[in-house]
Amino acid sequence: MMADNTAAIETEALPATDEARGAKRNKMLRILGLVVLVAALIWGAWYFLTQSGRVHTDNAYVGADSAVVTALVSGPVKEVRVAGTQAVRKGDILVILDDSDAKLALADAEATLRQARQRYGQAGANADAARARVSARGADIAQAQARLRDANATVAKARAELARRESIAGTGAVSGEDLAAARAAFVSATAARDLAAAGIASAEATRGSASGDLGAAEALVRGTTIQTAPDVAAAQARLEKAQLDLARTVIRAPVDGIVTNKQVQVGQRIAAGAPIMTIVPIDTAYVDANYKESQFEDIRIGQPVELVSDYYGGDVVFHGKVVGIAGGTGAAFSLIPAQNATGNWVKVVQRLPVRIALDPKELKAHPLRVGLSMEATIDTRGN
């Protein structure tokens, strides 16, 4: 009898235990749901307050406006003072070319300039000499004119003597010998007059020739100085070019940066215009972030950006700002642009590069290298 009562009591206790367990499980589920709901609300509030309006991409890469170093004159390489990956400052000597030919060209240009200056001085002296000859010919003309006046007076006197003797020749007062002498004197005076007149013409012709020489000599120096004379200026320009070519045998760094892609060795003969190395100015590096076209609704120039690089890890956060948006997608300017006017066209989301300028202080503290990948997040909440 007692065994039956015990079994009955145990049978009644089992449903009570299951009900308690179910109630406890339901309570735990409600608590878990409440925790999940609170966590979701907290996460939503955190996302709304900190992440809403932030546009993210990991398709971003470091870039820089690299400087390609080229030889401006040809010649054999005498010395190479830098190696690949070496940091250089603007003005540092990179390569020295053999300057023997350049020095010879400079000496030749200096001699040409001295010769041009000498010729200009000679032209000035010739002009002065021609001017003196013109003045001398003027004096010759004046002297010839004086002789002509004297000859005219002599002719007039001889004519008067001849006329007087001829007027009294019939009276027997003048002998035939005196009359002949008077006629000879008149003829001689007339000849002397004609000779004096010819002397004036000759002197004037000589002065004309001297004036022509003077014009030719003055044309070489008229309106110029020894600095502006064409031959002297041309020789000066040639000298300056020779000096420039000599200076260009020493190739210097055009910017601060890191030497990369070095393609020059000692003894190599390089041609003018040949690239010999590239200098990457890492201090002015920037980031090109390629965002999807669907992300551009709120992106504007001037917005702040946070960037993280695998090179330094998540502990180093770079700060920058949007400074430009490309005028077209990369596919639009590719060598073979995509042709979407086909029957099997499939839409592909395009990406547009966004140029991001980095904080120079942060960049100096943590230098980057061209081509490194970045993760960029633009804060668009300031729109």
Whether residues 231 and 113 share a domain: the answer is yes
**Average confidence score pLDDT of the chain:** 80
Name the residue range of residue 111's domain.
Answer: 102-237
Whether residues 144 and 251 share a domain: the answer is no
What pLDDT does residue 211 have? 65
The rounded distance, in Å, linking the Cα atoms of 128 and 140 is 18
Whether residues 167 and 204 share a domain: the answer is yes
What pLDDT does residue 2 have? 47
Whether residues 148 and 159 share a domain: the answer is yes
The rounded distance, in Å, linking the Cα atoms of 344 and 59 is 28
Q: What is the pLDDT of residues 307-353, one digit of tens each?
A: 999 999 888 999 999 999 998 887 777 777 777 766 677 778 889 99
At 344, list the tokens.
């099997």
* Confidence class for position 213, pLDDT limits 50, 70, 90: low
Burial of 297 (0-12, 13-18, 19+ CB in 10 A): exposed
Whether residues 120 and 216 share a domain: the answer is yes
Separation of CA 232 from chain center: 27
Does residue 36 form part of some domain? Answer: no
The rounded distance, in Å, linking the Cα atoms of 346 and 333 is 20
pTM for this entry? 0.63
Whether residues 74 and 120 share a domain: the answer is no
Neighbours of 253 (CB within 10 A): 19
Percentage with pLDDT > 70 across the chain:
73
DSSP state of 324: E
Q: At what angle do helices 230-247 and 100-168 cross, to 10 degrees?
A: 170
Instruction: Kindly state the helix (H) or strand (E) to which residue 61 belongs, with its residue range.
Output: strand 54-63
Domain count within the chain: 2
The CATH number assigned to the domain holding 79 equals 2.40.50.100
Which residues, other chains included, contact 40 with Cβ-Cβ below 8 Å and sequence gap of 6+? none
Whether residues 171 and 188 share a domain: the answer is yes
Q: What is the pLDDT of residues 118-144, one digit of tens each?
A: 887 777 666 666 666 666 666 666 776
Given the structure tokens 């007087």, which residue do they identify?
164
What pLDDT does residue 229 have? 78
Going across the sheet that includes 250-252, the strands are 250-252, 93-97, 75-80, 269-270
Neighbours of 91 (CB within 10 A): 10
Of residues 370, 368, 359, the one with CA closest to residue 323: 359
CA triple 63-66-70, angle to 5 deg: 160
What pLDDT does residue 104 have? 94
Whether residues 106 and 233 share a domain: the answer is yes
Does residue 111 form part of some domain? Answer: yes
Whether residues 138 and 183 share a domain: the answer is yes
Whether residues 174 and 223 share a domain: the answer is yes
The CATH number assigned to the domain holding 187 equals 1.10.287
Whether residues 178 and 166 share a domain: the answer is yes
Q: Pick from 237, 267, 290: which residue ends a domain?
A: 237
The rounded distance, in Å, linking the Cα atoms of 78 and 103 is 15
Sign of the CA dihedral running 305, 311, 317, 320: negative
Which residues face 286 on adjacent strands? Answer: 63, 357
Whether residues 79 and 145 share a domain: the answer is no
The rounded distance, in Å, linking the Cα atoms of 143 and 135 is 13
